[in-house]
């Protein structure tokens, strides 16, 4: 369509190029699918690491819902960007603790991971836009997953076998902000390399 091509051709600067690339990604069914699948998978992984989503043995097949007595618990921080839940949903082997703020964080991070992956996918399938290098954005989402596992006390360290010093505990506070910064940065780094005329 002439109007879109004109806009893309006019895109300059890092933000402009990134936005142009994202627009192309958003306009194609295949890259939209990559975005959605990646985003949902990351959200699920995030909810598992913060402890909201669990798979346990047994459980009845029916869906049961129980709500907390005090909904203001949704705003209570449990440490390291994890927030309390206000409802428990169980269905079969799955137990899900619904925490609105955890979902918000997970969706935001998942959207960034999905966008990174969608641009990477475009770079792979569209040789004309060979300016798109493979994105390291997916790895940028890892810090947030680690911080999620560090919810109530750095239990992730138990798995790794490292003792939590005060420095480590302080460092854990930065994992989610670092993840956001890295994901956005990665997106921009990929976007600025796009030559809009190749799209």
Partner 1 sequence: MSDTPTRRAVLAALGAGAFAGCLGGSDGSTTQRSPETEAPETGGDTTTASTATPERPPVPTVDERLPLPMEPASIEDNAVSGGPPKDGIPSIDDPSFVAAASASEWLNPGDPVFGVTRGEETKAYPQSILVSHEICNDVLDGTPVSVTYCPLTGTAMGFERGETTFGVSGRLVNNNLIMYDRATETWWPQVLSTAIPGPWREDPQIQSLSQFRVVWTTWERWSSAYPDTTVLSRNTGFANNYDGDPYGSYNPRSGYYQPDSGTMFRSLSDDDRLEPKRVVIGTRTSEGAAAFEKRALRDQKVLHGALGDTPIVGVYEPTLDTGYVYRNPDEEQYEYRDGQVVDAAGEAHDPTGLPGERLLALDAMWFAWSGFYPDTTLYASD
Residues engaged in binding partner 1 (CB under 8 A)? 13-15, 51, 54, 56, 66-70, 72-73, 76-81, 84-88, 95, 97-99, 101, 105, 150-155, 157-158, 161, 163-166, 169, 172-174, 176-178, 180-181, 184-185, 188-189, 192-193, 195
CB of residue 152 vs partner 1: minimum separation in angstroms? Answer: 5
Tell me how far apart the alpha carbons of residues 35 and 28 are, in angstroms, rounded to a whole number: 11
Tell me how far apart the alpha carbons of residues 84 and 68 are, in angstroms, rounded to a whole number: 10
Q: Which is nearer to partner 1, 62 or 66 (CB)?
A: 66
Query: How many angstroms separate the Cα of 107 from the Cα of each of 29, 40, 115, 122, 156?
Result: 20, 8, 12, 22, 22
Tokens of 59: 């459980």
Tokens of 115: 């966008």
DSSP annotation string for 14-64? HHHHHHHHHHHHHHSHHHHHHHHHHHHHHHHHHHHHTTSEEE-S---SSEE
Going by C-alpha positions, the residue among 4, 15, 55 that lies closest to residue 190 is 15
Q: Which is nearer to partner 1, 29 or 72 (CB)?
A: 72
Q: Which is nearer to partner 1, 28 or 193 (CB)?
A: 193
CB of residue 31 vs partner 1: minimum separation in angstroms? Answer: 22
CB of residue 87 vs partner 1: minimum separation in angstroms? Answer: 6
Q: Which is nearer to partner 1, 28 or 126 (CB)?
A: 126
Q: Which is nearer to partner 1, 33 or 104 (CB)?
A: 104
CB of residue 164 vs partner 1: minimum separation in angstroms? Answer: 5
CB of residue 33 vs partner 1: minimum separation in angstroms? Answer: 26
CB of residue 78 vs partner 1: minimum separation in angstroms? Answer: 5
Tell me how far apart the alpha carbons of residues 41 and 128 are, in angstroms, rounded to a whole number: 29
Going by C-alpha positions, the residue among 188, 132, 137, 199 that lies closest to residue 13 is 188
Q: Which is nearer to partner 1, 4 or 77 (CB)?
A: 77
């Amino acid at each position: 369509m002439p109007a879109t091509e004109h806009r893309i051709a006019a895109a300059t600067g890092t933000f402009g190029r990134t936005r142009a690339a994202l627009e192309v990604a958003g306009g194609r069914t295949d890259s939209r699918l990559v975005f959605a699948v990646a985003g949902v998978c990351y959200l699920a992984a995030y909810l598992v690491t913060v402890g909201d989503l669990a798979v346990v043995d047994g459980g009845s097949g029916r869906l049961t819902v129980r709500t907390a007595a005090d909904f203001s618990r949704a705003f209570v921080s449990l440490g390291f960007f994890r927030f309390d839940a206000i409802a428990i949903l169980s269905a079969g082997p799955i137990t899900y603790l619904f925490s609105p703020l955890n979902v918000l964080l997970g969706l935001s991070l998942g959207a960034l991971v999905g966008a990174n992956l969608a641009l990477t996918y475009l770079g792979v399938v569209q040789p004309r836009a060979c300016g798109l290098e493979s994105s390291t954005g997916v790895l940028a989402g890892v810090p947030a997953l680690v911080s999620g596992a560090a919810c109530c006390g750095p239990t992730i360290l138990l798995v790794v076998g490292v003792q939590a010093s005060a420095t480590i505990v302080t460092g854990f506070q930065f994992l989610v902000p670092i993840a956001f910064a890295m994901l956005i940065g990665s997106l921009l780094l990929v976007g600025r390399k796009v030559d809009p005329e190749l799209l």
